[in-house]
Amino acid sequence: MAQTTPLLRAATAADLEAVGHVAHQTALLGAPIGRFFPDEALWADLFVRPYLEAGCCNFVAESEGRVVAYVIGSCAPEAVPRWARRRLVQVLLGALLRGRYPRLLRDLPYLWRAWRQPVKRAPAGRFPAELHIGALPEARGLGVGSALMERFLGCLRERGVPGVQLATTARNAAALRLYERFGFRVYARWPSELWTPYVGAPVEHLRLVKELD
């Protein structure tokens, strides 16, 4: 049976659970991270909600009514940190009181390691926007990533954003091919021990940038 081509639409705050699921299923260098970070809801609240509520140019791809891929981001470097200062503690405490993170203790080792890892960023004045993109295995190889990237970059250009940056790893070959097709270049490289307990070795992280003006 022929595979249905996913349909693209703007993402909203109501897509938190669906986008969080895709992000959680692809967070371990493209594979599911559930063995090491079991609370999918916490992953969504920490790494997806800030962009859906305070970001811009967010899009999802749907197949048969189900989100199978996404691109989320921000247009200004202060947008997500400002949201985190105002809302994150409130969101997390409320979720904890409702029992939304039943396996929190198993999530903490990853969060501790991630918090301690060095991160290199490009100058915010030249590259104020940031993006995160992900797709379930069933959505790969269908041009969905390219379609989402075109929508996202087009949205940034319409808003007059001069440049965009993102973080990835040298092991993410498929994503690197996508970024190269769209003219991203490597701004910085650095080794990270974040993934060592999960994949058995340090992984090279990359900061990629693209000028839009």
* Residue-number span of the structural domain to which 64 is assigned: 7-211
104 found inside a domain? yes
7: confidence class by pLDDT, cuts 50, 70, 90: very high
Instruction: Please state the domain count of the chain.
Output: 1
pLDDT given at position 3: 59
The mean pLDDT value for 36-41 works out to: 98
Task: Say if residues 52 and 72 touch (Cβ distance below 8 Å).
Answer: yes
2 found inside a domain? no
The answer to which of 2-6, 74-78, 151-155, 193-197 has the lowest mean pLDDT is 2-6
The mean pLDDT value for 106-111 works out to: 97
161 found inside a domain? yes
**Which of these, 4, 7, 5, lies nearest to 62 by C-alpha position?**
7
Beta strands, E only, the chain:
7-10, 59-63, 66-74, 129-135, 163-169, 185-192, 203-211
141: confidence class by pLDDT, cuts 50, 70, 90: confident
Give the CATH number of the domain where residue 59 resides.
3.40.630.30
Give me the chain's average pLDDT, please.
Answer: 95
97 found inside a domain? yes
pLDDT given at position 1: 39
